[in-house]
């Protein structure tokens, strides 16, 4: 019996953060809008299409963006606002299928195969999703549709902005063959250069290349994987509600930290953020990791285990602080331009009853509960521990 073909949709909001800013401030329409950190070490989160014409792109240092686009409007990110709009968008997805794989606030894969019984085609579902997002948020979404994730994402990318494209099985080669080989998923800069050296510049070139040339460039295993992808083959499923691997928080400083006391205060601030998020999700972790970056760009990481999986801020901070102090004392002139902490090692199957009965379960702290409730009511940062006060006004 032949397996029914899947129906996969990829939705990507157009220049999401910048579009939200234009929605809330119509005077920005038609201007080059860049959402970015505005400090000396800020980076670009999103640039609208007007700004992209000047070469501004995500992850670019804000200083470089200003050089390329000095007349642009630079806006500080408002993550709470973007999350609120994202919740509306994902609410639209949930009306069509429960199989939603969120990639970020503004991007997701949907498997709507089971929904085809209620709609005439995947295009009908995609059009309704696009129209509903527009009606509920006032924003444009690019929608790509096909029978697998690779082609659905390619369809949304090729049709941006405000895109809408379905790639049918018989159309795959027509869309894929002319594309530069660097556009293919899994082909990085090194692999792209190696393929160019043997005369492979497009996906069609790769399919037509003999084994010797292809394997010389990227190896036999990767070469055969690329052949399958260039044929439009992608068996990956849409994975709904993927388990959270880690919860982290970090901060890049305008002025390097050069005292341990201030570094400890910032570490406590990040531990409060991580603990609050873990408790909100009902997750308890075993591993605490710290990320420490010296100027100009040397990054160190250290990790240690909690005695019992937990999410209490004092326990997370005790481990993180010890790791920070050890690192600090090992360096003759310690300075930090970035500091971060993460909690990982979650096990959703592990209940409190399964934990070590001889360990002290200090994960439920009254102070955490009070702080969480006040911050939920009055906003993040309304109540912090005294040690965090040293960081106030130094954001």
74-91 residue pLDDT tens: 999 998 899 999 999 999
pLDDT of residue 84: 92
| Residues whose CB falls within 8 Å of the CB of residue 373, separated by 6 or more in sequence, listed in order | none
The tokens for 144 are: 């790509």
Structure letter (DSSP) for residue 16: H
Binding site feature residues = 12, 106
Task: Spell 306-345 as b/e; 16+ CB within 10 A means b.
Answer: bebbbbbbbbbbebbbebbeebbeeeeebbbbbbbbbbbb
The catalytic position among 22, 50, 107, 264 is: 107
Mean pLDDT of 246-265: 89
Of the pLDDT bands very low, low, confident and very high (cuts 50, 70, 90), residue 357 is very low
Query: Would you kindly state where each structural domain of the chain is located, as residue ranges?
Result: 16-79, 174-230, 246-391
Residue 315 a catalytic site member: no
Tell me the DSSP string of 170-200. Answer: GGHHHHHTTSBGGGSTT--HHHHHHHHHTT-
N- to C-terminal Cα distance for the chain? 62
For the cut 60, the answer to whether the pLDDT of residue 354 exceeds it is no
Question: Which has more pLDDT, 242 or 155?
Answer: 155
Phi, psi for 162 (deg, rounded to 5): 55, 45
The tokens for 389 are: 């006060």
What's the angle, vertex CA 236, arms to CA 140 and CA 246, rounded to 5?
75
The chain-wide mean pLDDT, for the chain, equals 87
The tokens for 343 are: 């909690």
- Report domain 174-230's class: mainly alpha
Determine the distance from the C-alpha atom of residue 49 to the mean position of all C-alpha atoms in its chain, rounded to a whole number.
20
Q: Is the dihedral of CA 370, 375, 376, 377 positive or negative?
A: positive
Taking only the tens place, the pLDDT of each residue in 192-225 is 999 999 999 999 999 999 999 999 999 999 999 9
Long-range contacts of 322-329 (CB under 8 A, 24+ apart): 323/288, 323/290, 324/260, 324/263, 324/264, 324/267, 324/290, 324/292, 325/260, 325/264, 326/302, 327/290, 327/292, 327/300, 327/302, 328/260, 328/263
**Of 25-34, 79-88, 362-371, where does mean pLDDT reach its minimum?**
362-371
pLDDT of residue 391: 55
Among 306, 13, 320, 2, which residue's Cα sits nearest to residue 141? 13
**Of 94-108, 195-209, 234-248, 361-375, where does mean pLDDT reach its minimum?**
361-375
Mean pLDDT of 320-347: 92
pLDDT of residue 240: 85
Q: Which helix (H) or strand (E) holds 336?
A: strand 336-344
For the cut 90, the answer to whether the pLDDT of residue 186 exceeds it is no
pLDDT of residue 188: 86
Of the pLDDT bands very low, low, confident and very high (cuts 50, 70, 90), residue 243 is low
pLDDT of residue 210: 94
pLDDT of residue 346: 85
For the cut 90, the answer to whether the pLDDT of residue 387 exceeds it is no
Binding site feature residues for Mg(2+) = 12, 106
| Residues whose CB falls within 8 Å of the CB of residue 178, separated by 6 or more in sequence, listed in order | 202, 203, 204
Yes or no: say if 242 and 101 are a contact pair by the CB < 8 Å rule. yes
Taking only the tens place, the pLDDT of each residue in 270-314 is 999 999 888 888 889 999 999 999 987 788 999 999 989 999 999
| Residues whose CB falls within 8 Å of the CB of residue 292, separated by 6 or more in sequence, listed in order | 299, 300, 301, 302, 324, 327, 336, 338, 339, 340
Tell me the DSSP string of 113-180. Answer: GGGGGTSS-HHHHHHHHHHHHHHHHS--EEEEEESSHHHHHHHHHHH-SS-EEE--GGGHHHHHTTSB
The tokens for 278 are: 């873990």
Proportion of the chain above pLDDT 90, given as a percent: 69
What is the CATH topology of the domain spanning 246-391? Dna Ligase; domain 1 (3.30.1490)
The tokens for 136 are: 């509920």
Distance of alpha carbon 65 from alpha carbon 34, whole angstroms: 8
Question: Which has more pLDDT, 364 or 123?
Answer: 123
Architecture label for domain 16-79: 3-Layer(aba) Sandwich (3.40)
Tell me the DSSP string of 71-90. Answer: TSEEE---HHHHHHHHHHHH
pLDDT of residue 185: 82
CA distances, 98 to each of 108, 116, 145, 155, 293 (Å): 12, 14, 17, 22, 40
Structure letter (DSSP) for residue 202: B
For the cut 70, the answer to whether the pLDDT of residue 352 exceeds it is no
Of the pLDDT bands very low, low, confident and very high (cuts 50, 70, 90), residue 266 is very high
Taking only the tens place, the pLDDT of each residue in 93-111 is 999 999 999 998 999 999 9
Proportion of the chain above pLDDT 70, given as a percent: 86
pLDDT of residue 295: 84
pLDDT of residue 5: 82
pLDDT of residue 368: 58
């Amino acid at each position: 019996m032949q397996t029914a073909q899947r129906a996969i949709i990829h939705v990507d909001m157009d220049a999401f953060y910048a579009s939200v800013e234009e929605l809330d401030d119509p005077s920005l329409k038609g201007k080059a809008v860049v959402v970015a950190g505005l400090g000396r070490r800020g980076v670009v989160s999103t640039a609208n299409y007007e700004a992209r014409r000047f070469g501004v792109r995500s992850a670019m240092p804000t200083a470089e963006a200003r050089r390329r686009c000095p007349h642009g409007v630079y806006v500080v990110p408002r993550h709470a606002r973007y999350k609120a709009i994202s919740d509306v968008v994902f609410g639209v997805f949930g009306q069509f299928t429960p199989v939603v794989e969120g990639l970020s606030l503004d991007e997701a894969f949907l498997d709507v195969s089971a929904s085809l019984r209620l709609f005439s085609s995947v295009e009908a579902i995609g059009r309704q999703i696009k129209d509903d997002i527009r009606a509920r948020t006032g924003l444009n979404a690019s929608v790509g549709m096909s029978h697998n994730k690779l082609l659905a994402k390619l369809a949304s990318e090729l049709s941006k902005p405000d895109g809408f494209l379905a790639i049918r099985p018989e159309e795959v080669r027509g869309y894929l063959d002319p594309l530069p080989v660097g556009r293919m998923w899994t082909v990085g800069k090194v692999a792209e250069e190696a393929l160019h050296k043997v005369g492979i510049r497009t996906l069609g070139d790769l399919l037509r290349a003999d084994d010797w040339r292809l394997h010389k460039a990227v190896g036999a295993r990767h070469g055969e994987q690329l052949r399958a992808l260039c044929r439009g083959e992608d068996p990956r499923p849409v994975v709904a509600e993927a388990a959270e691997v880690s919860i982290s928080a970090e901060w890049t400083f305008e002025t390097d930290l050069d005292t341990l006391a201030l570094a400890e205060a910032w570490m406590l601030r990040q531990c409060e953020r991580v603990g609050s998020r873990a408790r909100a999700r009902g997750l308890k972790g075993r591993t605490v990791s710290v990320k420490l970056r010296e100027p100009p760009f040397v990054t160190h990481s250290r990790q240690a285990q909690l005695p019992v999986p937990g999410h209490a801020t004092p326990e997370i901070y005790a481990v993180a602080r010890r790791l920070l102090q050890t690192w600090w004392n090992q360096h003759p002139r310690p300075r930090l331009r970035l500091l971060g902490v993460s909690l990982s090692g979650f096990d959703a199957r592990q209940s409190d009853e399964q934990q070590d009965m001889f360990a002290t379960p200090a994960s439920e702290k009254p102070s955490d509960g009070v702080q969480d409730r006040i911050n939920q009511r009055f906003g993040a940062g309304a109540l912090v521990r005294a040690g965090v006060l040293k960081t106030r006004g130094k954001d």
